[in-house]
Amino acid sequence: MRKRIALTGPESSGKTSLARRLVQYFQVPLVDEFARSYLADKTDAYTFDDFLFIAGEQWRQRRKASRGSGLLFCDTDLLVLKIWAEVKYKKSLHWIDDALRKDPCELYLLCRPDIPWEEDPLRENPFDRERLFDLYLYYAKDFQLNFRVVEGDRPRRLRIALEAIASLG
pLDDT in tens, 6-43: 999 998 899 999 999 999 999 999 999 999 889 888 88
pTM to 2 decimals?
A: 0.93
Where residue 68 falls (left for φ over 0; alpha for ψ -120 to 50; beta otherwise) is left
Confidence of residue 161 (pLDDT cuts 50, 70, 90): very high
* Cβ contacts of 85 within 8 Å, gap of 6 or more: 51, 55, 91, 92, 93, 96
**Range in 41-45, 68-72, 79-83 with the lowest mean pLDDT:** 41-45
Rounded to whole angstroms, the maximal C-alpha distance in the chain is 46
CATH number at residue 154: 3.40.50.300
**Count of the separate structural domains present in the chain:** 1
The secondary structure of residue 128, as a DSSP letter, is: -
Q: Which helix (H) or strand (E) holds 6?
A: strand 3-8
**Which residues span the domain enclosing 118?**
3-166
Q: Which of 11-15, 64-68, 162-166 ranks highest by mean pLDDT? A: 162-166
pLDDT above 60 for 45: yes
